[in-house]
Amino acid sequence: MPECTAAAGRAVPVNRPVLAAGIRDFTFHDGHAPVLHDVAVTVAPGSFTAILGASGSGKSTLGCLLAGWLPPGGHGTLAGFLQLSGTRLEFDGGAGDPRIDPAQWGRQVGFVPQDPAAVLSTVRSTVAEELAFGLENAGMERGSMKAAVERTARLLGLGSQLDQDPARLSGGQLRRLAIGCAVIPGPPVLVMDEPFASLDAAGANELAALVRDLIKRGTAVVILSQTVSPLLLEAGTWFVLKDGRLTASGPPAAMGPGSGLLPPAIRRLDGLEAATTPVLRASSRQPGELPAGPALELRGVSFGYPKAPVSRRRRRRQEPVPDRREMVLQDVHLAVYPGEIVAVTGPNGAGKSTLLRHFNGLLRPSAGTVLVHGADIGGVPVGKTAASVGLLFQQPRDQLFERTVLREVMFGLDRLVGADVAVARAGAALKAVGLADAAPEHPAELPASAQRLLALATVLARRPAVLALDEPTVALDGDGLALLDAAVRSAAEAGAAVVLVTHELGYARAAAHRILALDGGRLLPAHRPPGY
């Protein structure tokens, strides 16, 4: 039972589902209108529930409330009730509302937010220590803790990464680790927000198997998503949110194509695409139409990260330390031409993000050469190369820091092209990604999909010769994907060379002229990349 303090008579023991919410309305303290209203959700022990909604529907806010990450009173005003493990807490937005202890609530509800890094301790130096962090705090016996860590890592495909620094994990591996940290204590409820984002096919299959196993063991699983993946067809109930309201609920079979119950922006990856799902045009450029010289070229590029630090004993002796590196890229050759769109796929941890960071000099090759418009960028400052190579990071948090959306896109642009041109370019970039009306808003207040599109706008406004996009489709609903697709095609038609890393083969096949697979450190043509 969650620990809470409440006014007399406000916390009432009841015999109800393991988790439930009845929300008349919820408003953030700095908000002008409720973000949730008339939402009722019940979760039974051992059940599988999906909460579906397009970007901005309020599903992440609902997930945070269910998980105790938005305690009413501290972050916003709630009218309604929250119920966990037989105790119902009633709220009316007044001073006498009950108080939730997020730590105690979290022992009952494991939570994986959209940003997997937000659930990690960030003070542990290996994957194994990160998985063990919560168990250590709970005082678990060492042998049992080690067994739990190894079992969880194996289930999530992290068995070979137990000694690795979490900061060196790929986006997909980081998400697997966050899921592991949430499930390893064995909470009776697990809530996951967009858990399939950034996962390769193997990771998606492992997550699906984990969900089925948890349900068999009696854990209630709730998945928040703007995409209908095959696993969600196995859910007992779907709840559909639109504009903060619950618009439909019931079994998946009642909400298939033609039912009209799913908003058009919800994407389907289950082979049952609705007629309203955005259709992406396949690229039509023929190889013979490419210009003579590449905009970007990699010649024999190899790269390795330094291995684990040497022992204290060796450091005390001041013995010479060999250059020990874990090779990620091996003799990579790549030429991308103006107007060409190249997709790079491959399993989690293959080195795709590492590859992109060589394009603008954020990483320097251990061997080989990177050329932009025929010029070697070795030794050229990153800031100078960035004017020609625009990089969209996998996590928008790594790219956004200003106080408003417009300031974000304008940052440094005036020094590059002049004030008047900068204003025009910023406005055009925001319009291209559907954020023209959001110019005065704070980037942190945007939904995850809008943050990704804003990060894309900061790159587009500079009109670089090379666009390097790391998992650009993550967190995008159907409307967002259509905006991304149009922006990428427009940039290519204007002469940019585009390289995009993605696990979404459907989008890669529709958008790219070539699909390459990175696996084992090497880049090869692939119709079906390894690991898929």
Q: Please tell me whether residue 19 adopts helix, strand or coil conformation.
A: strand
Average pLDDT over residues 431-455: 95
pLDDT of residue 132: 95
How much is the pLDDT for 279?
42
Render the burial of 342-376: b for 16+ CB within 10 Å, e for the rest.
Answer: bbbbbbbbbbbbbbbbbbbbebebeebebbbeeee
| Segment among 23-32, 275-284, 316-325, 500-509 with least mean pLDDT | 275-284
Contact 35/27 with Cβ under 8 angstroms?
A: yes
Q: What's at 216, amino acid-wise?
A: K
pLDDT at 7: 42
| Residue 323 binned pLDDT confidence (cut-offs 50, 70, 90) | low
Confidence of residue 330 (pLDDT cuts 50, 70, 90): very high
User: Environment class of residue 173 by beta-carbon count within 10 Å: exposed (0-12), middle (13-18) or buried (19+)?
Assistant: buried
- What pLDDT shows up at residue 324? 66
Residue 40 structure tokens? 């009722």
Number of H helices and E strands in the chain, helices first, is: 15, 25
Residue 481 has pLDDT above 70, yes or no: yes
- Three state DSSP letters for 71-119: CCCCCEEEEEEEEECCEEEEEECCCCCCEECHHHHHHHEEEECCCHHHH
**Predicted pLDDT at 72:** 79
Residue whose pair of structure tokens reads 């919820």 in the numeric block: 26
Indicate whether 13 pLDDT > 50.
no
Residue 385 pLDDT more than 50?
A: yes
- What residue type is 358 in one-letter code? H
Average pLDDT over residues 242-246: 96
pTM attached to this predicted model: 0.86
pLDDT bin (cut points 50, 70, 90) of residue 291 is low
Residues 6 or more apart whose Cβ sits within 8 Å of residue 513: 283, 285, 287, 340, 341, 342
pLDDT at 527 (0 to 100): 52
Please check the confidence at residue 439 and state whether its pLDDT lies above 50.
Answer: yes
CA angle 504, 54, 450 (to 5 degrees): 75
Asked whether the beta carbons of 348 and 520 are under 8 A apart, the reply is: no
What is the average per-residue pLDDT within 151-157? 93
Of 15 and 468, which is predicted with more confidence? 468
pLDDT at 485: 96
Could you tell me how many residues make up the chain? Answer: 532
Exposed, middle or buried: residue 341 (CB in 10 Å: 0-12, 13-18, 19+)? buried
- How many percent of the chain have pLDDT more than 70? 88
Mean local confidence (pLDDT), 166-184: 93
HEC letters along 244-293: CEEEEEECHHHHCCCCCCCCCCCEECCCCCCCCCCCCCCCCCCHHHCCCC
Mean of the per-residue pLDDT values of the chain: 88
What pLDDT was estimated at residue 284?
A: 47
Confidence of residue 8 (pLDDT cuts 50, 70, 90): very low
CA atoms within 13 A on the CB side of 425: 24
Residue 457 has pLDDT above 80, yes or no: yes
**Res. 117: pLDDT tops 90:** no
**Residue 322 — pLDDT band, cuts 50, 70, 90?**
low
Is the pLDDT score of 309 beyond 60?
Answer: no
Helices 448-460, 478-493: inter-axial angle, 10-degree rounding:
10
Please give the pLDDT value at position 124: 77
Query: What distance in Å separates the CA atoms of residue 130 and residue 163, rounded to the nearest whole number?
Result: 10
Q: What is the pLDDT of residue 156?
A: 93
CB-based contact 500:511 (threshold 8 Å): yes
**Nearest-angstrom CA–CA distance, 321 and 406:** 49
The answer to which of 313-327, 428-442, 476-490 has the lowest mean pLDDT is 313-327
Spatial separation of the C-alpha atoms in residues 108 and 186, rounded to whole Å: 9
The predicted pLDDT at position 73 comes to: 72
Q: What is the pLDDT of residue 16?
A: 63
